[in-house]
Structure 1
Amino acid sequence: MKIYDDKHIKNVAIVGANKSGKTTLAETMLFEAGLVKRRGSVENKNTVSDYHEIEQERETSIFATPLHTEWRNYKINLIDTPGLDDFIGEIASTMRVADSVIVVVNAQQGVEVGTEIIWNYVDRFSLPTVFAINQIDSPNADFEESFKSIVNLIGKHAIKIQYPIIVDGAQCIIDVLKMKMYKFGPNGGKPEKLEIPEDQKELANKLQNELIEKAAENDEDLMELYFDKGTLNEDEMREGIKKGMLNHELFPVFCISALNDMGSGRLMGFIDNVAPSSADLKPEQSVEGETIECKSDAPTSLFIFKTLYEPNLGQISFFKVKSGEIKQNDKLENSRNEEIEIVNQLFIMDGKNREPVEKLCAGDIGATLKLKYTKTNDTLRTKGSNITIKPIHFPEPRINKSITAADKNDEEKLNDALKKIHNQDPTVIIKYSKELKQQILSCQGELHLATIDWTLQKIYGIKANFEQPRITYRETIQRSATTSYKHKKQSGGSGQFGEVHIKIEPYFEGMPEPDGFNIRGKEVVDLEWGGKLVFYNCIVGGVIDTRYLPSVLKGILEVMEEGPLTKSYARDIRVMLFDGKMHAVDSNDISFKIAAAHAFKEAFLNAKPKLLEPIHEITVKVPEELMGNVMTDLQSRRSIILGMDSDGKYQTIKAKTPLAEMYKYSTTLRSITQGRGSFSTKFSSFELVPNNVQEELIKKNKE
């Protein structure tokens, strides 16, 4: 195929709420460009982008799928994205390589919950954005209400380029940039270009003047030209619109029917000659602080934004050429591990279809197979060029589950499959908790979890069990206690003997040294699970040889690794070893380790032991009118409300909530807010568990 330079490549992400028509629009654009001869449909399970079995089964996009079209000497790379925020990781990776965004809005619904959630994400990247109000030919379509909902979402920077009307029973679109009317036949396709009807000229002129003013605002030269002439021509308007889009201060609004191919060609023409390319965007800065120029004569750098595993192909790595150019068999260095990768094959991907190419230039998107040392977020670069592209920051997981193979013989197979799932979708996090003795899978929500389960069963042939993870409690004490323990064992020959006398106390930073003891030595142990153990040697007269002290400490630490209450880690305790006995023949390390463990456990249970639970700081963003219901639910979860802040139409609630009360919160919040709420959490501290909760946990542990 033809090789395009950086100024003739447009990378466009298609985003929007679930069922808004993104996949249908992508299919229609491919059809308009002649890439496909017959349009598929989501219902018939034969679209180019939704080609995965799970997408066809559920009739919804789950993966971001790169496609391409060629239109009037431009190459347009499209990325069709999911509309559900459980798959927000796919949108995050897409935003990292898109030059502009089409937000598809259903004319029957206007801006929906999914649109709001995705827009919040798009807005962070300040990418040039076009809104396309879809399904204008539906009997329930309301263009004006849909436009108002866009204005409510983004403000008065939304500007109509088009609006729909019916003329003589036919669907028409008035275009105020071209000042033409497009009249469509019942099957859509290429429209008839007509003059604007007399009864629409006043409104069309009014909208064009608004567009001219908005376009002129974004450039001083255009503003002066506008003051001199009182208007701008079409080319000048295009220039102003483009600059406004680049400034994230002008959002053109189009109307289309993707299903019936109305307005899709005009939208593509706008992308072609107005929407910015990579070369128009502000140059990126590398991790090293260098400017990455989107030019074909610069050193080559590729950014891996997505990884897929296909059963017949293996690993597919999708990349954007950030600078320079890439040819078949080029050798590039991975900036993360300095391994050399040979790019043996180059493709343009359209769903599952691969088109081999010999070369790709700066700004383009492509794919290659079977890279050995490279994964999502990696940079491949010309050796010695010192370029590392800033990584995608994926959202934190919102739900956690323990995961095990239903068949224990599949454990190794499960681990391999989970590794591939994580590489394909970095929002899926897999960690083994030594403390909980569980493998924990973290992801974005219940639907996300369901797709992981489907993948394990259908792709990898593994049945997995998902359960609520145990909670990482801690144990500590609230007062001092003194005890002694003698370990004595005789079984013929040399036996075992060790006796220790200890006092334990709660520990906190900055506390004074213990009174009434002759301190001979002190060891502060920073526990790997948090908190401290402070161990004092207060032995006088050599009643316990110093060579046995490490064994005493080891015995104490072993008990702290499995606390006496619930077998949770213990923390923040200090121990004074002040007396004991040993035997010239029978004393040894094991004897003193056993004696210390028993003494510490007994003292711990006499020192008013207490459980600590992990507390998370939770930030919940909800529509103002739903705040009361969300607050009530948080308080039922033993939350302490820290404060509230206004954020446009939303309220942000900050609270501290026990982790034990957060199970399935994602599902509950979605239900309370009809999907309009979002939240994030981070660990805050360990706090005392209420007495009734502690009693229940101890009882459960004994059982």
Structure 2
Amino acid sequence: MVFCYFRILEKWRMAVLGKLRQGARENIGREKKENRIRVQNIVSKLRFREAMVMKEYTSEQIRNVAVLSHDGAGKTAVVESLLLTCGEVAAVGVGKDNKHIMDYEPEEIKRNVTIQLGIAPCQWEGYKINFLDTPGYSEFCGEVRAALRAADGILLVVSAEAGVEMDTERAWDYGVELQLPRMVYVNKMDGEQADFFACLEKMRAVFGKSIMPLQIPLGEGKDFRGIIDVCKLIAWEWKEGVCEEIKVPPEYMAKARQVREMCMEAAAEGDDALLEKYLEGEELTLDELRHGLRQGMLTGRVCPVMCGSARYHIGTQELLRRIITYMPTGAQKVMTGEDAENGEAVLVHSHKAFSGFVFKTTVDPFAGKMSYVRIYSGSLQEGDRVYNVTRKCEEKLGKILTLIGKEAKPIGRAPAGDIVVLPKLDRTKTGDTLAAPEFPVYFEPVRFPQPLHSVALKAVKKGEEEKLVNALVRIGEEDPTCRVEKSVEGKQIVVRCMGDIHLEHIMTKMERKYGVQAAQEALYIPYRETIKGTATAEGKHKKQSGGHGQYGHVVLTMEPSATGEEVEFADAIFGGAVPRQYIPAVAKGVEETLHKGLLAGFPMIHVKVTLKDGSYHTVDSSEMAFKTAAALALKKGIPEAEPVLLEPIYTVHVVIPEEFMGDVMGDFSSRRGRILGMEPHRNRKGIIVVKAQVPLAEMAGYVTALRSMTQGKGTFHLEFWDYEEVPKKITEQIIAARAEKN
């Protein structure tokens, strides 16, 4: 019966292929290429039936590759084309109106961009490649950081039309910083403006001579039909959805040999034996060439470049083979951890007992929590008990899953080097270390970028403030670059994130998943008040209309504090004018009154108050009476002591390309800032660091402004410096606004 089923399936496949091939011959231009996609989809359905069950692999058979690019280079399309080629999915969409397999969240579908990290495991020729599809837009760089912690190498996707872009450089810098091997795939070779060699030249200019093409295109733009393997000196041509090996056309042979010579030189440079052979004029064998290039890639000396079209699935098979050949295996990763019991450093090799790292968490109101784990050593099986070294607690595993987009596949066992998803680990969070109970090793958490865009949110519906906070906390569990805090002084819910688009995504997701709507409000600025002069004032609280009354009388001197303390209280009473038991009440009255502010309602700082004199009544005096008297004295005296408003000043370090220096400095001037200086960046040529001091009130929207001024190439960080006096005109505006609000 099974045999008959496959006979019928094969007849159906041949019939469909025949019809599609016939139709393809009758079409021209783009129609012909669209049919190639449909043929590829039909063929992949057959592979899909074989790939429905995830096989078991050894650590040596696993590759973990983070896929990075500038937004719009076709990164997700490349990942989905690879999934289709491997048969992990039955079909992918064609064109902008089709839904992606990897981008399935409503916000991703609406924007047609990747927002969150996704896993795409591919089984190909006896190997498993875990692709980590990442967002291309810089505001979601936290997802990229998480992916790089789980990856052993980077596939950098570059558009053949646009070339090196802003986030292409950022992605490259990530690889350099983390010392991860890098490989480039030049996508969109079918584009009208595609120019492989111009793109290659730009990459070499920006990234250096490590850029090494292992392939060159067979045609470009509408004439793009395949690739030439310069190592083997053969060509692969795609005709009507089918890949065929052909001889290198004569008009391409000279260029192919020239590029091959570059590859041989690069391969020989890192190996003395190969270098000697190369210098003696001998040609390296294919195995020697691959060995030399792989060693060069692992040390960062060589970055292989491939090319193709994700839209028409051209070059995907060869890309998979190059990843298997050149990328490090899951067994090669050696992590440095810390022994949780004695704090000593531990080298974690793949053969040791289980250890793993939670690099991402997702939370679903219905499905619960899903923990994404990179296994560094040992293995995991369903039902295992693992020790959460970070939280100091045990968790029992249920199913072990692998994901393709949102579709989960159960796997019975996962070895070192693999990436898995563990559902319903209730106490485990992103950044936690999991380990075998007998091997309590601890790994440092991911260093996520500091969120610098701060906004205040309020619930649209009254009474939903706690619901809003809880929703933001849950989102923060999934996205460490989203942080929430309650401002006690400002009585606000403050969200810190990476920018306006990130914030919009957070608010949309919060409404969809947790049913709470939020609106922005003006962010509270923690102004302070102080005095510049000295004054003495009397405060008398007297209510004596019969029976037990109230009486408190103090004389206070107010002056700037020389110690730098927020509020300094001194007792200068002589002769018992104010009894000892009432002096703490006077001090408390001073502290509470100054905390409420006497100019615009902000806390007063750097003020010294001295109790000089006073009087009391043996029956009617009380702590409350003296506390009230102190408040009355301050309300009289502070207006005579030259009160001023202070604002928080922050030191800003901005890292930018040199050509944007003028715009950035001019912008600081418009924000009432002062430039402290500038200097070349220590490690990056053409990059400068501008240092300035700016009032916090003027930094609203700076994340977006800097991105606009520098084409997204600028970064900055803030640190509190001190408080300074607010200009008189702005002080008047703030006082008026506070009075109106109150």
TM-score range, shorter chain: over 0.9
More off after superposition, 409-418 vs 158-167: 158-167
Distance in structure 1 (CA, Å) of the matches to 2:75 and 2:316: 12
Describe the superposition over 1:28-48 as per-residue Cα deviations: whole angstroms up to 9, x where unpaired: 101111111212357344322
Pick aligned residue for 2:620 from 586, 589, 603? 586
Residues 6 and 294, structure 1, Cα contact 8 Å, conserved in 2: no
Describe the superposition over 1:182-239 as per-residue Cα deviations: whole angstroms up to 9, x where unpaired: 212254xx52222323333332222122112222223444434544564432222222
The aligned counterpart of 1:97 is 150
Percent identity for Structure 1 against Structure 2 = 36
Describe the superposition over 1:250-293 as per-residue Cα deviations: whole angstroms up to 9, x where unpaired: 21111110110111111110111211124324533448452342
Secondary structure of the residue aligned to 2:219 is: strand
Describe the superposition over 1:625-662 as per-residue Cα deviations: whole angstroms up to 9, x where unpaired: 33222221121111111222334243332211111111
Residues 485 and 499, structure 1, Cα contact 8 Å, conserved in 2: yes
TM-score (norm 1): 0.93
What one-letter code is carried by the residue in structure 2 that aligns with 1:273? T
CA RMSD of aligned residues (A): 2.0
The aligned counterpart of 1:291 is 346
Describe the superposition over 1:435-494 as per-residue Cα deviations: whole angstroms up to 9, x where unpaired: 111110111011111111111222222111112301111112222222221111235432
Distance in structure 1 (CA, Å) of the matches to 2:272 and 2:543: 94
The aligned counterpart of 1:15 is 68
Distance in structure 2 (CA, Å) of the matches to 1:621 and 1:42: 38
Q: 1:85 to 1:634 in 2, by over 3 A?
A: same
Does residue 674 (structure 1) correspond to residue 706 (structure 2)? The answer is no
The aligned counterpart of 2:662 is 628
The aligned counterpart of 1:215 is 267
Distance in structure 2 (CA, Å) of the matches to 1:491 and 1:533: 35
| The structure with more helix, counted as a fraction of residues | 2
Distance in structure 2 (CA, Å) of the matches to 1:490 and 1:654: 62
Q: 1:332 to 1:282 in 2, by over 3 A?
A: closer
Residues 172 and 184, structure 1, Cα contact 8 Å, conserved in 2: yes
Does residue 685 (structure 1) correspond to residue 685 (structure 2)? The answer is no
The aligned counterpart of 2:21 is none
The aligned counterpart of 1:514 is none
The aligned counterpart of 1:251 is 303
Pick aligned residue for 2:431 from 374, 377, 381? 377
Residues 431 and 446, structure 2, Cα contact 8 Å, conserved in 1: yes
Does residue 336 (structure 1) correspond to residue 390 (structure 2)? The answer is yes
The aligned counterpart of 2:5 is none
More off after superposition, 356-365 vs 308-317: 308-317
Residues 99 and 127, structure 1, Cα contact 8 Å, conserved in 2: yes
The aligned counterpart of 1:66 is 119
Distance in structure 1 (CA, Å) of the matches to 2:504 and 2:139: 10
Pick aligned residue for 2:197 from 137, 144, 153? 144
Secondary structure of the residue aligned to 1:248 is: coil
Secondary structure of the residue aligned to 1:127 is: coil
Pick aligned residue for 2:212 from 149, 159, 162? 159
Query: How many matched pairs?
Result: 680
Shift of 1:175: 1.7
Residues 303 and 380, structure 1, Cα contact 8 Å, conserved in 2: yes
Q: What is the correspondence of 1:286-365 to structure 2 with a 5 Å cutoff? A: 286=338, 288-295=343-350, 297-365=351-419
Q: Which structure 2 segments of 5+ residues have no match?
A: 1-53
The aligned counterpart of 1:605 is 639
What one-letter code is carried by the residue in structure 1 that aligns with 2:348? E
More off after superposition, 679-688 vs 60-69: 679-688
Q: 1:688 to 1:208 in 2, by over 3 A?
A: same
What one-letter code is carried by the residue in structure 2 that aligns with 1:596? A
Distance in structure 2 (CA, Å) of the matches to 1:385 and 1:588: 65
Q: Which structure 1 segments of 5+ residues have no match?
A: 511-530
Distance in structure 2 (CA, Å) of the matches to 1:226 and 1:547: 95
Q: What is the correspondence of 1:121-132 to structure 2 with a 5 Å cutoff? A: 121-132=174-185
Shift of 1:325: 1.2
The aligned counterpart of 1:461 is 515
Residues 41 and 47, structure 1, Cα contact 8 Å, conserved in 2: no
The aligned counterpart of 2:700 is 663
Q: What is the correspondence of 1:43-58 to structure 2 with a 5 Å cutoff? A: 43-58=96-111
Distance in structure 2 (CA, Å) of the matches to 1:371 and 1:454: 26
Q: 1:45 to 1:565 in 2, by over 3 A?
A: farther
Shift of 1:87: 0.6
Describe the superposition over 1:557-606 as per-residue Cα deviations: whole angstroms up to 9, x where unpaired: 11232211222222222222121112111111111111122223433322
Q: 1:369 to 1:192 in 2, by over 3 A?
A: same
Distance in structure 2 (CA, Å) of the matches to 1:186 and 1:551: 91
Distance in structure 1 (CA, Å) of the matches to 2:447 and 2:247: 49
Distance in structure 1 (CA, Å) of the matches to 2:737 and 2:271: 70
Residues 24 and 42, structure 1, Cα contact 8 Å, conserved in 2: no
Distance in structure 1 (CA, Å) of the matches to 2:302 and 2:562: 57
Distance in structure 1 (CA, Å) of the matches to 2:334 and 2:295: 12
Distance in structure 2 (CA, Å) of the matches to 1:509 and 1:163: 71
